Chain A
Amino acid sequence: MINLLSLLFVLASSPVPLSCFAQQPELTDFEVTGQGLIYRNSYHGVPLPQPKMVADLSASGWLFSTQHRVVGSYLAQTALVGQHRFEQLVLLAFHPGLQSEQLVVVRVFPQQSESWQFDQLLPYLDDAVMAAGDTVVAALWQQQQQAAGWWRPIPGKATQLPTLYAGILYLPVAQVMDGNCPPYPLDLSVYIIHMHSGHTVSPPETVQLSEPAPLQWQLKVEGDYLGLWLQHKDDNWLLQPQLQQILPDCLQCISVIEHSNWPKILPMAHFWLEEGAY
């Protein structure tokens, strides 16, 4: 009965999993329904003649947040669809049976002809898998790269969509005892997750929020490195004194970002200007 009531409460409030914590919606090329149908409405801001369904995750039975984040990226080796570049949709979902939230990442390819089903998504690589031998991890890594995405249960309630820095997702999660919204002061754990596989990059950092207020992320120069700060009202926490980035060489490969390498310059085109030459 309690489960049913909380389910009704969750169903009545929109967006579903973020009901306790308000967030500004972002305008993207995609539209996500509560049942997990994902449509592409436009392509880089240019509207399509009709919405195209790219994924149907309704088989999961989860309740999806309509709010999502879109990230353009590529994988080093992808046999899937023969395309390396794709967009990743970062979503939150609610599992009514387990009463727990899930972090879902769905890959959308530009030339994708069919829509993904839920069973084409793989569960994340958990700590037990990551502790296995290198060959096992490499094989699972290959499999993960062929999949349409991944999902990962969240131990608590996500207060917002994860923030992305250099291929690493930073997801603030509030601990909940029952299905209700957690009271303040609130203990918040920031989970640090690999974008392409969902495994934990480093152990979660914990902060305490005194009252409801939006979280703000900031990059600051800390010597030669970049520091990631979390700001909440008058409080500041240094989450990462040396911001890291994921590397395409292997799953566990991580490197520290040096501030002197930024801003980066990419040459796009070279040409000769010929004047008065015949």
Chain B
Amino acid sequence: MQSERGFALITTLLLATVMLMLVLALLQSSMLSMRIADSGQQSLQLRQEAWRMHLQQPVSTGTALSEVRCPDQYAAWHADSLYCQRYLLLSTPEQGLWHSSQVGSIQLQLRLTVQDASDD
């Protein structure tokens, strides 16, 4: 009678432990799947942030490439008064998740030949 009682208790405890482990594993995997679902959104946000930082960089910090023909404009300028130069801009690599990635852009600077009034 005594041993039968002990067997039932141990079986119940074992069953409870198995159930607990199953529930814990389920909870863990659902957390993981949520994280995986969020990761796409997060990488987009990180890319956006990287672009934002990159576009705040002044063009003058870039490497000056060759002078090019200016793009056509509605209010066109005479060729002698407008100069166009290309710049290659590279952002400094950020530490962290996007450590291996670097943002770059080619930008065109339109410049007028203007004299300061103080030159006189």
Contact = CB atoms under 8 A, between A and B. Distances in A.
Given A219-B81, A268-B86, A275 B102 contact: yes
Contacts of B51: 270
Contacts of B114: 219-221, 226, 259, 262
B19 interface: no
Interface in A37-74: 44, 69, 71-74
A203 interface: no
User: Which of A76, A266, A274 counts the most B-chain CB atoms under 10 A from its CB?
Assistant: A266
A223 B106 CA distance: 32
A14 interface: no
Nearest to B116: A221
Contact of B111 (A75, A263, A269, A273): A263
A220 B81 CA distance: 12
Given A270-B51, A273-B102, A74 B74 contact: yes
Nearest to B111: A263
Given A270-B51, A273-B102, A166 B110 contact: no
Interface in B54-96: 59, 69-79, 81, 86, 90
B76 A71 contact: yes
Nearest to B103: A272
A266 B103 contact: no
A263 B112 contact: yes
A69 B79 CA distance: 9
Contacts of B33: none
Interface residues of B, number: 35
A277 B112 contact: no
- A contacts with B: majority SS: strand
A226 B108 CA distance: 22
A23 interface: no
Given A74-B72, A163-B78, A264-B109, A274 B101 contact: yes
Interface stretch (A112-120, A123-131, A134-142, A245-253): A245-253
A264 B78 contact: no
Contact of B107 (A222, A226, A267, A276): A267
Contact of A266 (B78, B100, B110): B110
B39 interface: no
14 contacts: A69-B78, A72-B69, A72-B76, A166-B77, A168-B75, A220-B114, A220-B117, A263-B109, A265-B110, A266-B108, A266-B109, A267-B107, A268-B86, A274-B100
